[in-house]
Amino acid sequence: MKSFGLKIGMLTILSISLLVTSCSKDETATVADESPAITADQTRQTAEAEMTTDEVLSIVEMAYAENEEDDGRTASLFTDCVTITISFENGVTFVTLDFGFGCQLNNGAIVSGIINLTYGPVVAGTRTITVVFEDFTYNSKEVAGGATIYRERNNANGNPQSTVNKDLQITFPSGVIANVTGTRVAEWIEGVGSGTWMDNVFLITGDRQIEVSTGFTHDALVTVPLRREATCPHFVSGEIEITRNNGNGNLDFGDGTCDNIAILTVNGVEITIILN
């Protein structure tokens, strides 16, 4: 009888233990299921990584335009702290932009290190430019890697256009690393041939994937062209469709005002993102 009672007691304890374990697993699953697929902090990180890649590619494009396309220039983006070296060999042009240990451009950006450009002759109004970053920083963010630019002097709208395949690594001061790959198409819609960088306006489209060292991958597609004005450090308008952690969202950069605010919409809920 004692043995039978002991068995009953042990079975009861085992059943309760299994029930508690099962409930614990269910609660854990529920918490995981309720965790947000797209967070504001992750969106801020990826938006800042994307804007950094766009800014440094804009520097490259302006260096190329000032050297090859912009006759009669009266105001340069580049200040005297930049050393620009141009050499030629067998029909290939080599351009080195050396910003030293710290240099402020006329748009206020603080940069350092070297950008190398290499390109051959113009073929049917187009040219391919190879870009490599060497110990380069932009506003305290390290930028490594490179890009290939397909440059059209006149696109279907008669505007200069660059189609960039980029593979860049952005390291934030915090140590977080964002690997940015994808395609960026920049159409130069205003300020062409004016002789100054200050009235330049670009429309940016394309897609990109950003892998962040904190443990997530961000895919983005421009659904409304991003408007980049040369005197503003942020996109002033345009929208990006975001896919991350099996969730979807939309990031809206505004109505044309130069500010550091973007609106993230997830499942109909709007979240204000403040960009650095």
Output the six-digit token pair for 134: 């060497």
Contacts of 126 (CB under 8 A, 6+ apart): 150, 151, 152, 153
Q: For residue range 5-22, what is the model confidence (pLDDT) as tens digits?
A: 434 444 444 343 443 444
**Given a cut of 90, is residue 111 above it in pLDDT?**
yes
- The answer to whether the beta carbons of residues 114 and 98 sit under 8 Å apart is yes
CA distance 187 to 123: 19
Q: Is 35 helix (H, G, I), strand (E, B) or coil?
A: coil
Of 60-69, 145-154, 161-170, the one with minimum mean pLDDT is 60-69
HSE (side-chain half, CA atoms, 13 Å) at 207:
5
- The candidate with the shortest Cα–Cα distance to 65, out of 166, 204, 193, 229, is 193
Chain centre to alpha carbon of residue 165? 12
Tokens found for residue 212 = 């962040």
Q: How far apart, in whole angstroms, are the C-alpha atoms of residue 203 and residue 274?
A: 22
pTM of the model: 0.84
CA distances from 183 to 74, 114, 160, 274 (A): 32, 23, 17, 25
Whether the CA torsion 205, 244, 53, 238 is positive or negative: it is positive
As a whole number of Å, the end-to-end CA separation of the chain is 75
- CA-nearest of 233, 209, 196 to 58 is 233
Length reported for the chain: 276
In 3-state terms, what secondary structure has residue 268?
A: coil
Q: Tell me which H or E stretch contains 9.
A: helix 2-34
DSSP assignments along 209-260, one per residue: EEEETTTEEEEEEEEEEEEEETT-SS--EEEEEEEETTEEEEEEEEES--SS
- Report which secondary-structure segment, H or E, holds 148: strand 141-152
Residue ranges covered by each domain of the chain = 40-214
Q: What is the pLDDT of residue 73?
A: 78
Structure confidence by residue, pLDDT tens digits, 174-183: 999 999 999 9
Instruction: Name the average pLDDT for the chain.
Output: 87
Query: 31 vs 249, which has greater pLDDT?
Result: 249
Q: Which amino acid is at 256?
A: G
Distance CA 14, CA 7 (A): 10
More confident residue, 111 or 28: 111
